[in-house]
Homo-oligomer: A and B are copies of this chain.
């Protein structure tokens, strides 16, 4: 009867239960963290009119779009969460209060060339703060606190939030008469990590056709290193030469000034003048986040300040600041590298109740009582041999098995077996609930990522 092989498309992540629970736990931590900063959840359609989705048009992305028609409609699957946000804010402008703070964790689609670790369907987890006309620099100063909180709650310790301000770069290139080639220069400098300073210098001279002295200026600027205070002090020497530069320096100063009030330790934050984050979109503070022991992963959380979220949909100026985590790829890499805590997903339930009598009434009632105590309890009622039942409990990874035989029912007790130690005790339902709950609570505190 079976006629079709049950395959899943390549480039589409489909997890087994243990892994899925870890992924769900990550999403839960993100939801909780974002909500704790007053971001409201949003959920927009996965399908939009192609005209709306591709209003900006052109670019590499357009080739990757899943686009199709249904009836008379020219449709497309969203390829990020920013364009739907722009549409949403423009469409519902009158019903929203600004600054509008939203988070969205959802799937997006890009028909990239299939290869290991590249996904065509993947989750993005975004937060954005959108202002109406204006948006204070303090919103940019708050973002590192949210990134810090997010990765700390996920369990990452050795990470660094790298921050720059696009106005510093724009101003610097202007004061050096390089504004027209700023894009080319930034793309070249962006390769610093990959090819090193000497190759970048040569590329600036040979490919971008800069005078050696100008290339030197750029290299000097990018080489500014040190503590945040040292970098800021060092940048002061450029002050007064370009208004945009000065503005960027003030903004960066504000971001750094409030770091400790926001609870971000100095070691998790660095001003990094080489960070540029693409060309057109960002206009102020830009962010990248790297796991210090895994630089090969690249940035796991990036974003920045932009001046005009929805210019294709409305004439209103809607500046904003946002960050995004490519959750599916991040999870894939963590999993590949063995960085996911084994305990984080836990079992699908906290206890498996095994009735040992013909009548299941007492076992059902016991399971219901444990559930009322806040536990996740599965009742096992298949007609199998005892050994098969225990083997099922083992494979599920359930921490406790609760037996109810004639003796237990007569005594009004439950036999509770700790599956890790093998220890078995007779307890009242209240005691059993307390024991199982304290273990569940311990596991709930477990970080998803175990460095």
Give chain A's interface residues, CB within 8 Å of chain B. Answer: 1-9, 12-17, 20-21, 23-24, 35-49, 51-52, 55, 66-71, 73, 75, 86-88, 90-92, 95-97, 99, 101-102, 107, 109, 111, 121, 131, 134-136, 138-139, 142, 145, 258, 261-263, 310-315, 348-349, 352, 360-362, 364-365, 368, 371, 375-383, 392, 395-396
Choice from B42, B66, B134, B377 contacting A382 with Cβ under 8 Å? B134
A396 to B96, CA, bound (A): 9
Q: Closest chain B residue to A375 by CB distance?
A: B36
A190 to B67, CA, bound (A): 41
Choice from B70, B348, B368 contacting A38 with Cβ under 8 Å? B348
State whether B48 touches A349 (Cβ < 8 A). no
State whether A313 touches B12 (Cβ < 8 A). no
State whether A313 touches B4 (Cβ < 8 A). yes
State whether A14 touches B314 (Cβ < 8 A). no
State whether B41 touches A24 (Cβ < 8 A). yes
Choice from B41, B107, B134, B381 contacting A46 with Cβ under 8 Å? B107
A450 to B282, CA, bound (A): 45
20 more contacts with CB within 8 A, not counting A134-B382, A258-B364, are A1-B315, A2-B313, A8-B45, A9-B45, A9-B47, A13-B45, A14-B88, A15-B43, A17-B96, A24-B41, A38-B377, A39-B348, A47-B109, A47-B121, A70-B111, A71-B111, A131-B382, A136-B383, A138-B379, A145-B368
> Do A2 and B378 form a contact, CB below 8 Å, given A40-B20, A45-B12?
no
Choice from B5, B24, B87, B361 contacting A8 with Cβ under 8 Å? B87
Choice from B8, B36, B69 contacting A371 with Cβ under 8 Å? B36
Q: Closest chain B residue to A120 by CB distance?
A: B47
Q: Closest chain B residue to A71 by CB distance?
A: B111
A111 to B68, CA, bound (A): 13
State whether A258 touches B39 (Cβ < 8 A). no
Q: Closest chain B residue to A396 by CB distance?
A: B97
Please give, as numbers and ranges, the residues of chain B lying within 8 Å of A51 by CB-CB distance. Answer: 4
Please give, as numbers and ranges, the residues of chain B lying within 8 Å of A86 by CB-CB distance. Answer: 6
Please give, as numbers and ranges, the residues of chain B lying within 8 Å of A2 by CB-CB distance. Answer: 90, 310-315
Please give, as numbers and ranges, the residues of chain B lying within 8 Å of A96 by CB-CB distance. Answer: 16-17
> Do A381 and B17 form a contact, CB below 8 Å, given A36-B376, A371-B36?
no
Q: Closest chain B residue to A352 by CB distance?
A: B38
Looking at the assembled complex, report how far the CB atom of A23 sits from the nearest CB atom of chain B, in whole angstroms: 7
A129 to B96, CA, bound (A): 42
Choice from B55, B66, B88, B145 contacting A4 with Cβ under 8 Å? B55
Most chain B C-beta atoms within 10 Å of own C-beta, residue among A39, A70, A392: A70
> Do A91 and B45 form a contact, CB below 8 Å, given A36-B377, A99-B382, A136-B383?
no
Looking at the assembled complex, report how far the CB atom of A52 sits from the nearest CB atom of chain B, in whole angstroms: 6
Looking at the assembled complex, report how far the CB atom of A443 sits from the nearest CB atom of chain B, in whole angstroms: 13
**Nearest 8 Cβ contacts at the A-B interface:** A38-B378, A68-B68, A138-B381, A38-B349, A6-B313, A40-B348, A6-B90, A12-B45
Looking at the assembled complex, report how far the CB atom of A152 sits from the nearest CB atom of chain B, in whole angstroms: 12
Please give, as numbers and ranges, the residues of chain B lying within 8 Å of A371 by CB-CB distance. Answer: 36-37
A206 to B427, CA, bound (A): 65
A12 to B131, CA, bound (A): 26
A321 to B37, CA, bound (A): 41
> Do A41 and B66 form a contact, CB below 8 Å, given A55-B3, A311-B1, A313-B4?
no
State whether A139 touches B70 (Cβ < 8 A). no
A1 to B313, CA, bound (A): 8
> Do A14 and B45 form a contact, CB below 8 Å, given A68-B66, A258-B364, A349-B38?
yes
State whether A3 touches B312 (Cβ < 8 A). yes
Q: Closest chain B residue to A368 by CB distance?
A: B263
State whether B55 touches A138 (Cβ < 8 A). no
State whether B44 touches A361 (Cβ < 8 A). no
Please give, as numbers and ranges, the residues of chain B lying within 8 Å of A73 by CB-CB distance. Answer: 9
A70 to B39, CA, bound (A): 36
Looking at the assembled complex, report how far the CB atom of A332 sits from the nearest CB atom of chain B, in whole angstroms: 14
State whether A91 touches B7 (Cβ < 8 A). yes
Please give, as numbers and ranges, the residues of chain B lying within 8 Å of A379 by CB-CB distance. Answer: 38, 138, 142
